[in-house]
Every structure is written in C-alpha cells, then in structure tokens.
C-alpha cells in the first residue's frame, strides 16, 4: 500500500517540525516536504503533487485562505486546515470549508501550540480522511440567488429514483441488515448549552426532517440548504460533527446564504417549518413532543455516542419516539457510520423515508455507505439532487 504523501504548511518552524513528527508516527503517512507560507505551499504543490496538504490559516506573505482559494482553482488537492479557537478563527475556518478544504483541526492553544500533541490522533485521522477525497473535490456552490427556485416549480421537475418511491411519504421500510459498529470520533466540550430566551410560538408540527453529516458536511449543507425555498414546509434538525465554537459560525454563514432560516439550536426551543437547527458542538441534540403536538429541542452533554457529541444516532433515536409526525432522514458525506443505528430505530418505530448521498458526490463515503449496506436507504441521489428529492417527497 502506498503511503499518503503530505505537504505541511505553517509559518512556525516549531509547528512544522511537530506536525511532521506527528504524521510520521503513522506508518501510512509520509511528509514529503514543508512550506512556511501560502506562496511556498503553492509552488511545492506544483512540484511535488502531494496527496494531502495541511494548511495553517494565519501566515505572512500569503495566508491560508488565499492559498486555499488558489489551490482549489489551479491545483485541486485535499486540504486539512489548522485553525485557532477564536471567533475570528472559527469564521475563517468556515470560510475555508466553503472554499474547498476537506476538514480542519484546531490548535489547542493558539498559533504556536506547545500542546499540539493533544490533537495528534485527530490530525492523523483527518489527513487519512482527506486522502480519500482525492478526485471528489467540488467547486464552492453558487449563492442562493442562483439556486433557489419556488417549491411549486421544484415539484414539477423529474426526480431520478434509485429505488422505488414509497406509496405514501414516510411509509414502507426495505429489508435491512444489522448496522455495523460505531467508529470512534471526536471529543467533548464542557460549555453551557445555548438556552432559548423565549419559546417561539408555533402550531403543531406534522412533518420533520433530520439530517446527519460529518467530513465534507459544511460544504454539502450549503449545497442542500441554499436550494430550499423560503416556504419549506418542515423544520430541519441537523447534526454536523464539529467541535464547540464552530457551529455558531457555520449557522450564521449558512443563514446569510439561504432563503430558509438557519440557526444554532437552543435548549427548549419550539421548532418551526422553514428553519434549520444545527446542533451546537459538544452537545447532543434531541427533539421531544410537547403538548399540542409542538416539537421542542433538548440539548445535553451525556456521554459521546461512538465518540461523537453531537451524535446523529442520538438525534435520530429521539425522532423515532415522535408520534403522528411524518419524518424524512438524510445522511450525507462523512467518516464512520454514525446515524445508521438511529435510522434503523426510526424505521422500526414509525413512518420515515430516507435520502442518502450517492458515492459519486461524497467527500468521504462512510456514513452513507453504512446506511446503504444496512438496507436502510430508500433514495440514493447525488448531492445536487437532494433538495429537489426532499421537496418532492414532502408533497
């Protein structure tokens, strides 16, 4: 098996050496060279053609975002960003994911992190995941003004089904095998859950969409959510594997691009149609049924599930307990198989139709593969058809 060839880019000589040592500790990875700024990174990518690039955001001469944008245009290569745990760092990281970075790792204590070894395992995992993305890099999706169409027009389009459409939305479950084991993943947080200042008054909710994604998810979410019309007739609850401090920036960025409202979920919030709620990093997100058929969010910090908090399985299992609600479950790009057990539970206990991203558009075909192999996929479609498929199913 060929080793994964990596180019390490950081303006700190210390960080370049430590990151190199971490990556060299894995027998499947080889650091082929190091660069001290974005411009040097571009030159070495042209010369060496690495499989993966690690790229710091804050650098002189040419920063990481400018280098990333040029890489994606001139020499597309899987990139893992290294970012800081500041508000500015979070915003820059979300922008990097939008520009085409596969994933990111946070430096524990700023630009020069003497304790970078704390995230060694995560860095190696992300580099290996990025290597799988070679050849599947996508250009940033267009702005919402060029993608959103009225719901009525969307429903008139022909949708290509890979499996027969159920007779009624949310009914019918195919035969399925037992889901596989959950793969260990990310970490915890230890911050206070966002609390709703006052519940938003809303009528009973009879339709619900739940969505899970991981590596490559932020960019995939932008593709799907910007294609939904403002009058989308259901709430959307989302688990994106991401550490604390980054999901709020992700929600704000998506909200600025989408016709629907996108927000970081708050504890005890009454959910409503036309809004997407993203689980905060470090917190599980659940949905419960309140009086009168209203649906309410619950955030908690119980143990990570399979290494993940938030966990797609936790969200999906909570949705399985809802009654008199038609449900649609979406699984998109990501490592591991988080979501397959939860979707299996939804299939056992109520009406649900699943939509799974096709391998051809996944950055990492882990979570979708697990669902397909478990026999839980009702519709397998490429990323740019998920929004259209969802709108057709809801009607």
Nearest partner of 187 among 125, 110, 238, judged by Cα: 125
Q: Coil, strand or helix: which one is 347?
A: helix
Q: What is the pTM of this model?
A: 0.82
Examine the residue annotation and report whether 115 is marked as an active-site residue of this protein. no
CA distance 224 to 228: 7
Catalytic residue among 113, 214, 311, 354: 214
Q: Please state, in angstroms and rounded to a whole number, the distance separating the CA atoms of residues 250 and 247.
A: 5
Residue 189 has pLDDT above 50, yes or no: no
Catalytic, out of 10, 11, 33, 241: 241
Q: Please give the average per-residue pLDDT across 306-316, as a whole number.
A: 96
Could you give the CA distance from residue 387 to residue 149 in angstroms, rounded to a whole number?
11
Residue written as token pair 């993305």: 133
| Residue 204, pLDDT score | 77
- The one catalytic residue among 313, 338, 358, 378: 338
Comparing C-alpha atoms, which of 353, 286, 270 is closest to residue 322? 286
Based on the residue annotation, tell me whether 326 is a catalytic residue of this protein.
no
Beta strands in 196-312 (DSSP E): 207-213, 236-240, 261-264, 275-278, 284-289, 295-300
- C-alpha distances in Å from residue 261, one per residue of 126, 223, 232, 268, 274: 30, 15, 10, 18, 6
pLDDT score recorded for residue 5: 97
Q: Mean pLDDT, to the nearest integer, of 48-54?
A: 97
Instruction: Compute the average pLDDT of residues 293-309.
Output: 94
In what order do the strands lie in the sheet containing 79-83?
29-35, 4-9, 52-56, 79-83, 103-106
The answer to whether residue 214 is catalytic is: yes
Q: Is residue 263's pLDDT more than 70?
A: yes
Is pLDDT above 50 for 186? no
């Amino acid at each position: 098996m060929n080793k994964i060839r990596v180019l390490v880019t950081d303006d700190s000589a210390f960080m370049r050496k430590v990151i190199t040592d971490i990556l060299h500790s894995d027998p499947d990875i080889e650091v082929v060279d190091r660069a001290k700024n974005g411009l040097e990174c571009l030159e070495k990518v042209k010369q060496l053609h690495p499989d993966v690039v690690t790229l710091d955001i804050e650098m002189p001469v040419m920063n990481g975002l400018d280098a990333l944008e040029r890489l994606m245009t001139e020499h597309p290569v899987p990139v893992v960003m290294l970012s800081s745990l500041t508000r500015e760092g979070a915003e820059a990281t979300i922008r990097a994911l939008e520009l085409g970075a596969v994933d990111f790792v946070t430096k524990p204590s700023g630009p020069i992190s003497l304790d970078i070894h704390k995230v060694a395992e995560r860095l190696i995992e992300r580099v290996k995941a990025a290597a799988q993305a070679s050849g599947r890099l996508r250009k940033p999706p267009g702005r919402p003004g060029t993608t959103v169409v009225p719901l009525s027009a969307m429903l008139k389009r022909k949708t290509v089904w890979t499996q027969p459409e159920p007779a009624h939305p949310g009914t019918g479950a195919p035969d399925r095998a037992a889901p596989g084991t959950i793969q260990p993943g990310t970490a915890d947080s230890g911050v206070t859950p966002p609390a709703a200042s006052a519940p938003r008054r809303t009528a009973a909710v009879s339709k619900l969409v739940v969505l899970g994604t991981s590596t490559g998810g932020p960019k995939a979410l932008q593709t799907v959510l910007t294609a939904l019309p403002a009058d989308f007739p259901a709430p959307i609850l989302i688990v994106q594997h991401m550490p604390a401090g980054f999901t709020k920036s992700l929600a704000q960025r998506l909200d600025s691009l989408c016709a629907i409202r996108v927000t970081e979920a708050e504890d005890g919030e009454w959910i409503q149609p036309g809004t997407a709620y993203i689980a905060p990093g470090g917190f599980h997100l659940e949905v419960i049924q309140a009086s009168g058929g209203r649906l309410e969010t619950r955030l908690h910090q119980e143990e990570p599930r399979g290494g993940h908090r938030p966990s797609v399985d936790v969200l999906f299992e909570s949705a399985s307990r809802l009654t008199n609600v038609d449900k649609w479950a979406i699984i998109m790009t990501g490592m591991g198989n988080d979501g397959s057990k939860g979707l299996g539970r939804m299939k056992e206990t109520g009406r649900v139709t699943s939509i799974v991203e096709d391998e051809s558009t996944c950055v990492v075909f882990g979570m979708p593969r697990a669902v397909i192999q478990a026999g839980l996929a009702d519709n397998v479609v490429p990323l740019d058809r998920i929004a259209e498929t969802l709108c057709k199913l809801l009607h």
